[in-house]
Amino acid sequence: MKLSKRIVAMQASPVRKLVPYALRAKAAGKKVYHLNIGQPDIPTPPVFMDAIHDYDTTVIKYSYSQGEPLLIDAIRDYFARDNIHFDPEDILITNGGSEAVTFATIAICDPDDEILVPEPFYTNYNGFTGEVNAKIVPITTKAEDGFHLPSKAAIEALITPRTKAILFSNPGNPTGTILTTAEMEMVAAIAKEHDLFIISDEVYRGMAFDGLAAKSMASIQGIDDRLVVLESVSKRYSACGARIGAICSHNKQLTANILKLCQARLCVATLEQIGAAALYQLPQSYIDDVRDEYQARRDIVYTALNNIDGVVVERPTGAFYMVVKLPVDDAEAFIIWMLEHFDDNGETIMLAPAEGFYATPGLGKDEARIAYVLNTTDMARAMEILKRGLIAYNQQTN
């Protein structure tokens, strides 16, 4: 029997596909510092579980397909802090930001339609679009430019009759780059001139360093009819396993039609929505404290990397990732070697090979993504292991 071409063509996650190597390393007695996945170690705020414990019901019923009104209102209030206003019908609760991307793609694209995405990009965009037969067309960005967008003309040269949208994360995963207001306005202009949707993944908004601010694309004027903002509690509130995301759009025709998809999958888990509503009600000071913690981790990692011979890295300004060019020919082979053959006093590290974050063949082969999601002591130790591992690897391969 044959499987579908769609499923066979889907990319395995470069973030998760090396997990068996890590499991074997642990079984062999090694401690593995996981820098390969965006799983924060910051405790989920207690208000999440408190809200669930206080939820007074004798039956866990289906929630509304659109989402719990309590959570929808909490998200509306969150945006209102920045003078961005959504009506209740403008917000649809989803099973994480993942489902939000998939639903937006289904609503916007027919099979073989195209979405422009700056690369390197969150690798699962490949899965979310590929599973509905949409195609990613990469907008290549470069480390020497801080992974900022190329010129308007360069982006417009990629547009074809099948182009339907521009998708990006801001702050960026895996680069940590924050788009400038000028870049956001350029994207808005391109979308208006070429009648494209804009899908703005804002999961990491609030994590902006060095006094910078990561503005919501919803703050840009004149694009309400074509903007889709994606939200999630996963990263900002360290609640990845809650799987609570949202689609936010002023385009009521779009949200009314995406609601059909929400109805087809019935609803998002009721209790997690109750907990998520409490997270969105946390004060700005909570987000500021989390931002400061990640900036401290960023500084430790960036300083350490600059003291490793042959490593090339640009300082990220947001999120909790950075893309690093390593002094190796094949980053994935090096990562596997670190898990299988190297340890420093019984400890090793796991990174994510960056090749899978690119759509252009050949790019990212010698690069890795580092997620600085561990405490400052562990991040410093992990960088020490990386330095020693690179020396040992290059000595045995030369």
Sign, CA torsion 253/215/200/273: negative
CATH 3.90.1150.10 domain span(s) along the chain = 5-43+285-397
The third-level CATH classification (topology) of the domain covering 47-283 is Aspartate Aminotransferase; domain 2 (3.40.640)
- Tokens 């679009």 — which residue? 129
pLDDT of residue 17: 79
CATH 3.40.640.10 domain span(s) along the chain = 47-283
Please report, in angstroms and rounded to a whole number, the separation of the first and last CA atoms in the chain: 46
Q: What is the pLDDT of residues 202-219, one digit of tens each?
A: 999 999 999 999 999 999
Query: In the numeric block, which tokens belong to residue 186?
Result: 């350029």
pTM for the model: 0.95
Cα(89)–Cα(66) distance, integer angstroms? 8
The CATH H-level superfamily of 5-43+285-397 is Aspartate Aminotransferase, domain 1 (3.90.1150.10)
- The DSSP line for 114-174 is EEEEEES--THHHHHHHTTT-EEEEEE--GGGTT----HHHHHTT--TTEEEEEEESS-TT
pLDDT of residue 16: 75
pLDDT of residue 396: 85
Cα(51)–Cα(273) distance, integer angstroms? 10
- How far are the Cα atoms of 79, 287, 351, 362 from residue 331, in angstroms, in the given order? 40, 34, 9, 12
Sign, CA torsion 251/127/240/270: positive
pLDDT of residue 9: 81
Cα(18)–Cα(351) distance, integer angstroms? 9
Residues of the chain falling short of pLDDT 50? none
